[in-house]
A and B are shown apart, each in its own frame.
Chain A
Amino acid sequence: MIGLDVGSTAAKMVWIENGDIKFRITSTHKWKELVEGIDGDNIVSTGYFRNSVPHRASLTELTAAIYGVRHYFPNAEVIVDIGGQDTKVIDVRNNNFLINDKCSAGTGAFLEFVANYFRIELHELGTMHAKADRIPDINNTCGVFALSEMISQLVGGYTKEEVIAGMHYAFARKISYMIPEARSIVLIGGTVKNEGLVAALRDVLKKEVLIPDEPQIINALGALKYFS
């Protein structure tokens, strides 16, 4: 059986081979390539498009996240899933969740928007952040206005690297409003690969931040665990 997570930007497939977790990731529009030759009866799905792909059973990404995260951190208290189009905060202890899907700031889409503006690859945001000496204040909580604020800071003399670091802090603050009191949080989702963002989150949240080895495949793994 395979776990298939088809989200708004990426499709992830997970299976277990001799006790080892194996996976493949591609972009959403290529999801079919992942499951070529696999019968729908052997697929359990999750993610935004969970019901649009062949599947034997499906599960929301919120429940899948809990089961996937437990594999790595059995006592996880709060899970923060920063996805392409939304951010989800799951309070595992209190059976509660919050989703920000109304505003792009605080989602992967905003980071992509910023990377496009600076004409850099998404993965470069993290390395550029590390080179910043100062962190300018970017206070706007709206993605579009945050970008104009970033431009003002560039004009005002901050470097590209510093402005990107400032943006990561603004992003982290936006997410922090959604996070309940807890000793630690687990970060998942492709966006978590951005070390600059993670550094800003650690600094803003002042909590222990745990990240599984492959944060992007957690929901696919969770679907698999839930149904097996």
Chain B
Amino acid sequence: MQKHKLILNIRMPVKKIGITALVPPELIFACGASPFDVNNVIPSSRKYPGNKLCAWTAIWKEMLVKKEIHVDSLIVVAGGDCHNALVDGQKAAMSGINTHFFFYPFDGDPLYMESQLHRLSEFLGGIKRPEKFKEIRELKKQGLIIDTKRCCGKLSSSEAFRTLISFSDLAGDLPGFTRNISTLEETDIDLGNRIALIGVPPIYHDFHEVARSLGLHIVFDELPYEFIRHGGTTIQEMAHDYCNYTFARPLEFRIDFLKKELRRRKVDGVIHYTQFACHHMLEDEIMRKKLDYPMLTIQGDLPGNTPQQIKLRLEAFREMLDRI
């Protein structure tokens, strides 16, 4: 009797891992899971959370606890990034979500970063698909090209922003994401005032379009740039790179980095977006002192369309840039 070898082709479902800020997506994919940036649903969510300081953390916390966002596990970026996230992350953990807390080194120590990446990898069950590192490195190179194109008017700032911000989790779907970025169409945009948008990303889903309609072309998005400029194909390589995530480092470090980027992109003005109840607001006076550019500071709170009051500030800022 011929023996038949029974081949069981059972695919384990890919685990969906919620992330609250920059967590190396290459490591999550390499561990056989799929990242899901819980912030990305917020700007168009129209949610008004109950107990809140910063609406970003309050909304993802509420959506996670109420199971409006389903994740298998959660990685909260705490140390060196955001203490509101640390508290709201613990609330989410108390609701029963398997949660890991990820810390960046304030002093940029690559060894500390490496130990954090090892712990993260353990939490995710270890590296199973190392080929993902290279795949994502190639994708991030595309990201850098997209960033350069919008900087010279070959891509609209809103489209570039939407794509670059998605690099935090690569939409949880590498083939789909690759297809999407290949469909981006080049245009020829007459760049008026070249603007750097620093701080956390605006909570308004139409901010870049609104800015553009008022004559402000955003050529630099600070946080999304962090999503594309870091990477690595081993834990050690990643540690040496991600330890320079500017938002987690001392302000002087971040400002030096910003100065170079603003010069390189020949910006005419800076918009500093701050979020209500966010500690980054305290950095505004330092940014104003150290960055020698006309600067507009705006503060957002709840998600939705860019409100009229913010539009007035943008328009007045444009008029001011036209004047000088």
Contact = CB atoms under 8 A, between A and B. Distances in A.
Do the two chains bind?
Answer: yes
Interface size class of A (residues with CB under 8 A): 10 to 19
B135 to A, nearest CB: 46
Interface string B295-324: 100000000000001001101100110011
B232 interface: no
A96 B287 CA distance: 14
B216 to A, nearest CB: 13
Nearest to B319: A63
Nearest to B288: A96
A60 B323 CA distance: 13
A60 B319 contact: yes
Contacts of A62: 312, 316, 319-320
Given A62-B319, A63-B319, A95 B294 contact: yes
Contacts of A48: 312
A59 interface: yes
Interface string A37-49: 0000000000010
A99 B313 contact: yes
Interface string A55-73: 0000110110000000000
Contacts of B294: 95-96
- Top 7 A-B pairs, shortest CB-CB distance: A62-B316, A63-B319, A60-B316, A60-B315, A101-B309, A95-B320, A95-B294
Interface of A: 48, 59-60, 62-63, 95-97, 99, 101
Given A60-B312, A99-B312, 20 more contacts: A48-B312, A59-B319, A60-B315, A60-B316, A60-B319, A62-B312, A62-B316, A62-B319, A62-B320, A63-B319, A63-B320, A63-B323, A95-B294, A95-B323, A95-B324, A96-B294, A96-B295, A97-B313, A99-B309, A99-B313
